[in-house]
């Protein structure tokens, strides 16, 4: 992460960055060129007056998110120099939000570059503020979520020959140094517990499946919130193999698990009082002699049997066992799962919103609000009676999906998952359209987004960090 | 189609009897009397047959108590007994009476409006399209000619039923238009059938190619130019506002009427192409809605506009890469000739605003395959620039069992239809395909002179049903007629 400093006065060197609200007076000496360039300080507008200052437009900022986005825009526009941001006159929270944006925008995944890319982002940023101590305190509040998000982006970016199931688990064990308890179940334990769905998905790979449970104790005497993540380190589709084109993107098919782990890291880093657990279903969906087949019937950990129709609909299978594990073993007050689950959600909502499904209106509304606040936007989607009926099987308790074209597969997947959560308030975020972006966007550069980390962290902060804020809802499991 | 009659509550001596029963309810009223006369045999037989009164449950008993046949129909839970439940029961009795010419429904326990709803449900389910069957065996034809609904207050039920009957006729007109094969129902024939609304008091105006060319409907003409059938724009006006409210702005409904959609030069694959005869369902729905409103003499002004074209590949067809100028003046780069519905709507919507300055505008279209992938067949996709209009549509749909689901709009999606050569292109790629289609249409909603509440219903997943539903036989559903009739009643007539 780029180094963030808060100072009262400008250091030597660096590029000056001037955030400008629409209608505010233009910087002295630059008014003419600014006007000539047609700069109106609109939201996301950037004008580089090199060697003079970089102007970043904010439009009419209404939320801290707008200041964050201005930070992102500045970081995306600056190349290889230290940024000196004029934040005097702003509140500590606005300055910290700018810092968060700078960090999100300056992130790059450069593990595998021998020489850094020419368009290198700034390595450090100094924010000029009236009260550095106050700004630093505000920054500490938001820094944790930024670091969690960047950690998730890093995991998602790693190629699948490096980030195998074992390697992912090794990295997750590293969370222990932040006070997170890490428990790992391998094949033997999974077999003993009867987690047949996760085992089946992972059985075709040389890299064995794992179920990882992360626990953050917090301080409150309350049942934990639970995050459940799909962690398919690579998805070939299995025997129902995917087309070659674009298959490389399937290294990101563990973005749900990465987001859950990143959110746990964020909670731990800012020492959240809220107890939280994360259950990550980690496997590689490979094609091989041992692969599971279309037509197979699996017995899940919950005892329900599932007829496999398409081995490329593997995410819902591993989540079935992970969700069951969360609700039956960890007594959560609410469960939120994140998964790059379906192509259908991309057709439905594109790359600007994730699909939000669930069984609890209040939980869904709270998550949607946290999404709007962090710029990780959701949109509610239905689980209808017809979707449920479509999953009836001739041979098992459930069929995994339907075969054919023009199918509401995102809703089918959600209707499938619903069977494994019982009565616990539950939400499912289908993040298949937002886990990576092809181009730079409002919250970062092209590549992994870390979508979900800041949303979950914010949701916990808004709803689960006060003793009596929310009564324990409906956790009957 | 059976005749629905409301008769005095009296127990017939013989024939076929239909008994609607709520979940767990003991025999009451006329049914109790029939059961008593049969020495309790009816109630015992129902219990033995596992009849519980669940919604939609139908159990047939034979030769008991002097009746040829007794059909018990479940009403569901008594506490949840509403119009929808009564309609569903009415629908459920139809398949059970396929071979009966007449039957009597013992609806004496139902309030008059619910008895009427039951009649409506039966009527809606009994419709079928058999115009092109020439050799159907007598035993395969449904026989039901008369359904007598015995109710405590037949006059009140009749009164409640009259407007329902008019709406059902609108539904049937839509179903018929949507079912007609594309060699019969081309744009010119479709426009002719719209003329039929004149006898209900609707003013109908038909414009042909030269008039459209003169107006500058470049987008709609571009779609039509590959076909030997000329395009038609039909404008229907229902002027039902009472004296005091005359001159108020009308509500406007706009329908996509592609009588057959081959995809054009961007031709569709062969499998399933026959379904594209119902690519005019948006227009069919608007016509049925106008018939429903006129039929029940709705007390407000409504305009309906349908753009009728056939999308064909040929030497004169529009090409991918063509740039067309819409009636609004905006230009469109045609990337995919199979995204033609939005091109038709663009011109018609702009025209509707210019000519009528409506108070709100709702368009219906079988617009995208993407909406089926997004929502399936239970909900239509609803897009709107106005939260109040959107929630009224959602509520009206929920009330009549034609459900919609709100989908998002936004600048980020709008960017996907930017063109390098024109004001916009007609597709925005696979991601968010229904949303970018809606964004395209929204560019033709004119909010320059003030707000223009607009909603777009993507009915590609709901216009046609592959299976029977309680009040909708499989095939053309006429989805939207009842929803929008309700909307007009609540927004325009209240």
Q: Do B373 and A409 touch (CB under 8 A)?
A: yes
Structure tokens at A100: 């968060």
CB B35 within 8 Å of CB B42: yes
Taking the Cβ of residue A381 and every Cβ of chain B, the question of whether any pair is shorter than 8 Å is answered with: yes
Probe site for chain A from B84, B367, B380, B408 (most A CB atoms < 10 A): B408
Residues of B in contact with A347 (CB under 8 A): 370, 373-374, 430-433
pLDDT above 70 coverage of chain A, percent: 98
CATH numbers and ranges of domains, chain B: 3-154 (3.40.220.10), 165-491 (3.40.630.10)
Q: What is the pLDDT of residues B381-424, one digit of tens each?
A: 999 999 999 999 999 999 999 999 999 999 999 999 999 999 99
A10 with A111, same domain: the answer is: yes
Query: Is residue A445 domain-shared with residue A418, that is, in the same domain?
Result: yes
Chain A residues lying within 8 Å of B374, measured CB to CB: 344, 347-349, 381, 408, 410
- A385 closest CB neighbour out of B372, B378, B434: B378
Residues A34-52: b if buried by 16+ CB within 10 A, e if exposed: beeeebebeeebbbebeeb
Residues A401 and A445 in one domain: yes
**Residue that terminates a domain, selected from A131, A165, A200:** A131
Residues A379 and A323 occupy one common structural domain: yes
Chain segment A363-381, per-residue pLDDT in tens? 999 999 999 999 999 999 9
- Report the domain count for chain A: 2
Contact B370 A347 (CB under 8 A): yes
**Would you say residue A454 has pLDDT above 50?**
yes
Please name the residues between 331 and 370 in chain A that touch chain B, using a CB distance below 8 Å.
Answer: 344, 346-353
Query: Residue A469: pLDDT above 70?
Result: no
Position A475 scores a pLDDT of: 43
| Cα nearest neighbour of B380 on chain A | A382
Q: Does A438 reach chain B within 8 Å, measured CB to CB? A: no
Residues B215-224: pLDDT tens digits?
Answer: 999 999 999 9
Measured between CB atoms, which of B376, B377, B430 is closest to A347? Answer: B430
Instruction: List the catalytic residue out of A242, A304, A329, A388.
Output: A242
Residue A15 sits in the same domain as residue A66: yes
Asked whether residue A44 carries a pLDDT value surpassing 80, the answer given is yes
- Span B152-170, mean pLDDT? 97
Give the H or E element holding residue B434: helix B433-442
- Give domain status of residue A472, yes or no: no
Q: Which of A84, A105, A131 is the last residue of a domain?
A: A131
What are the chain A neighbours of B430 within 8 Å (beta carbons)? Answer: 346-347
Shared-domain flag, residues A168 and A80:
no
Would residue A139 count as lying in a domain?
A: no
In tens, the pLDDT along B60-70 reads 999 998 999 99
> Inter-chain contact A406–B372, Cβ cutoff 8 Å?
yes
How many separate helices (H) and strands (E) can be counted in chain B? 15, 19
CATH number for the domain spanning A175: value is: 3.40.630.10
Which of A131, A156, A179 terminates a domain? The answer is A131
Region B256-278: mean pLDDT is 97
pLDDT digits 0-9 by tens, A46-90: 999 988 899 999 999 999 999 999 999 999 999 888 999 999 999
In the residue annotation, A123 being an active-site residue is answered as no
- pLDDT (tens digit, 9 = 90+) per residue, B163-198? 999 999 999 999 999 999 999 999 999 999 999 999
Banded model confidence at residue A474, pLDDT cuts 50, 70, 90: very low
Residue A475 lies in a domain: no
A:B CB pairs within 8 Å: 75
Decide if A103 is inside a domain: yes
pLDDT tens digits for range A208-218 = 999 999 999 99
pLDDT at A476: 40
How many Cα atoms are found within 13 Å in the side-chain-facing hemisphere of A370? 24
B376 and A384 within 8 Å at the Cβ level: the answer is yes
Asked if residue A141 is part of any domain, the answer here is no
Q: What is the pLDDT of residue A477?
A: 37
Residue A239 pLDDT class (50, 70, 90 cuts): very high
Contact A92, A137 (CB under 8 A): yes
Are A118 and A150 in a shared domain?
no
Mind listing the pLDDT tens digit for each residue in B229-256? 999 999 999 999 998 888 889 999 999 9
Same domain, A312 and A375: yes
Record the tokens describing residue B392, joined without a space.
């009224």
Euclidean distance between CA atoms B354 and A385, whole angstroms: 42
Query: Three-class SS of residue B31?
Result: helix
Residue B123: φ, ψ to 5° = -60, -45
CA distance B348 to B314: 24
Q: Do A88 and A154 reside in the same domain of the chain?
A: no
- Give residue-wise pLDDT tens across range B280-306: 999 999 999 999 999 999 999 999 999
Query: Does A125 share its domain with A165?
Result: no
Q: Are residues A168 and A221 both part of a single domain?
A: yes
Percent share of chain B, pLDDT over 70: 100
Reply yes or no on whether B268 is catalytic. yes
Beta-strand pair B3-8/B146-151: parallel
Q: Which pLDDT does position B122 carry in this prediction?
A: 98
Residue A21 sits in a domain of what CATH number? Answer: 3.40.220.10
Same domain, A156 and A117: no
How far is A235 from A252, CA to CA, in rounded Å?
A: 9
Query: What radius of gyration do chain B's Cα atoms show?
Result: 24
Range of the domain at A100: 3-131
Q: Which residues contact A219 (CB under 8 A, 6 or more apart)?
A: A273
Catalytic residue among B55, B125, B277, B342: B342
Of all helices (H) and strands (E), which one includes residue A313? none
Q: Is residue A353 part of a domain?
A: yes
């Amino acid at each position: 992460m780029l180094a963030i400093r808060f100072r009262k006065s400008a250091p030597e060197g660096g590029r000056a960055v001037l955030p400008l609200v629409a209608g505010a007076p233009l910087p002295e000496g630059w008014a003419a060129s600014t006007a000539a360039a047609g700069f109106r300080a609109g939201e996301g507008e950037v004008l580089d007056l090199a060697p003079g200052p970089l102007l970043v437009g904010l439009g009419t900022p209404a939320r801290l998110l707008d200041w964050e986005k201005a930070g992102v825009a500045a970081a995306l526009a600056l190349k290889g120099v230290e940024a000196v941001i004029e934040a005097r006159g702003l509140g500590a929270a606005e300055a910290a939000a700018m810092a968060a944006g700078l960090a999100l925008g300056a992130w790059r995944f450069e593990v595998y570059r021998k020489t850094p890319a020419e368009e290198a982002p700034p390595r450090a940023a100094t924010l000029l503020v009236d009260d550095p101590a106050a700004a630093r305190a505000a920054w500490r509040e938001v820094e944790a979520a930024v670091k969690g998000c960047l950690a998730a982006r890093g995991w998602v970016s790693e190629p699948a020959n490096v980030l195998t199931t074992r390697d992912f688990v090794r990295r997750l064990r590293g969370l222990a140094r932040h006070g997170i308890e890490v428990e790992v179940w391998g094949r033997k334990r999974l077999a003993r517990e009867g987690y047949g769905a996760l085992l089946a998905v992972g059985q075709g790979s040389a890299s064995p499946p794992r179920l990882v449970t992360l626990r953050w104790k917090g301080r409150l005497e309350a049942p934990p919130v639970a995050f459940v993540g799909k962690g398919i380190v690579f998805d070939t589709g299995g025997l129902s193999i995917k087309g070659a084109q674009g298959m490389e993107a399937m290294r990101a098919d563990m973005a749900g698990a990465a987001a859950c782990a990143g959110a746990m890291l964020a909670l731990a880093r800012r020492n959240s009082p809220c107890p939280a657990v994360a259950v990550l279903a980690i496997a590689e969906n490979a094609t091989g002699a041992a692969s599971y087949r279309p037509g197979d019937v699996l017995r899940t950990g919950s005892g329900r049997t599932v007829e496999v129709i398409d081995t490329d609909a593997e995410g819902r299978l591993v989540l079935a066992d992970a969700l069951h594990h969360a609700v039956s073993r960890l007594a959560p007050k609410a469960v939120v799962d994140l998964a790059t689950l379906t192509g259908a959600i991309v057709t439905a909502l594109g790359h600007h919103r994730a699909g939000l499904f669930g069984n609890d209106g209040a939980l869904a509304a709270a998550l949607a609000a946290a999404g709007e606040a962090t710029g990780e936007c959701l949109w509610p989607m239905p689980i209808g009676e017809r979707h449920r009926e479509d999953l009836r099987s001739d041979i098992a308790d459930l069929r995994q999906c339907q075969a054919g074209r023009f199918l509401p597969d995102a809703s089918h997947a959600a209707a499938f998952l619903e069977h494994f959560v019982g009565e616990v308030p539950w939400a499912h975020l289908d993040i298949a359209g937002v886990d990576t972006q092809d181009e730079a966007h409002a919250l970062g550069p092209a590549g992994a987004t870390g979508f979900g980390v800041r949303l979950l962290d914010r949701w916990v902060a808004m709803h689960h960090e006060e003793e009596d804020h929310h009564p324990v809802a409906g956790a009957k499991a | 189609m059976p005749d629905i009659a409301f008769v005095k509550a009296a127990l017939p001596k013989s024939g076929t009897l239909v008994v609607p029963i709520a979940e767990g309810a003991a025999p009451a009223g006329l049914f109790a009397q029939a059961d008593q006369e049969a020495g309790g045999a009816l109630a015992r037989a129902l219990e033995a047959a596992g009849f519980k009164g669940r919604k939609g449950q139908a159990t047939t008993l034979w030769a008991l108590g002097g009746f040829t046949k007794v059909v018990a129909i479940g009403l569901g839970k008594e506490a949840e007994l509403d119009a929808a439940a009564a309609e569903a029961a009415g629908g459920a009795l139809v398949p059970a009476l396929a071979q009966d010419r007449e039957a009597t429904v013992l609806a004496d326990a139902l309030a008059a409006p619910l008895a009427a709803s039951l009649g409506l449900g039966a009527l809606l389910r009994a419709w079928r399209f058999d115009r092109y069957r020439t050799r159907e065996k007598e035993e395969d034809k449904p026989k039901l000619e008369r359904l007598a609904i015995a109710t405590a207050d037949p006059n009140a039920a009749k009164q409640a039923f009259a407007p329902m009957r008019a709406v059902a006729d609108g539904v049937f007109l839509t179903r018929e238009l949507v079912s007609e094969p594309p060699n019969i129902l081309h744009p010119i024939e479709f426009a002719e059938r719209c003329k039929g609304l004149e006898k209900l008091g609707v003013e109908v105006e038909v414009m042909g190619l030269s008039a459209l060319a003169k107006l500058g409907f470049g987008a709609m003409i571009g779609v039509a130019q590959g076909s030997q059938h000329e395009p038609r724009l039909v404008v229907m006006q229902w002027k039902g506002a009472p004296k005091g409210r005359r001159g108020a702005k009308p509500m406007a409904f706009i329908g996509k009427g592609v009588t057959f959609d081959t995809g054009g030069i961007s031709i569709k694959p062969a499998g399933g192409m026959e379904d594209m005869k119902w690519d005019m369902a948006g227009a069919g729905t608007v016509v049925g809605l106008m018939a429903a409103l006129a039929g029940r003499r709705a007390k407000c002004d409504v305009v309906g506009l349908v753009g009728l074209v056939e999308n064909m590949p040929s030497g004169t067809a529009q090409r991918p890469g063509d740039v067309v100028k819409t009636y609004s003046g905006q230009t469109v780069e045609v990337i995919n000739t199979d995204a033609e519905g939005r091109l038709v709507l663009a011109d018609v919507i702009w025209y509707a605003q210019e000519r009528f300055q409506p108070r709100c505008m709702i368009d219906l279209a079988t617009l995208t395959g993407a909406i089926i992938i997004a929502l399936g067949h239970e909900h239509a996709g609803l897009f709107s620039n106005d939260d109040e209009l959107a929630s009224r549509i959602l509520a009206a749909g929920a009330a009549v069992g034609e459900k919609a689901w709100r989908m998002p709009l936004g600048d980020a999606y709008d960017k996907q239809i930017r063109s390098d050569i024109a004001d916009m292109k007609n597709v925005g790629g696979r991601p968010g395909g229904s949303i970018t289609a809606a964004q395209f249409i929204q560019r033709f909603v004119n909010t320059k002179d003030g707000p223009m509440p607009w909603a777009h219903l993507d009915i590609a997943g709901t216009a046609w049903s592959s299976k029977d539903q309680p009040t909708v036989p499989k095939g053309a559903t006429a989805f939207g007629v009842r929803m929008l009739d309700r909307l007009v009643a609540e927004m325009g007539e209240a």
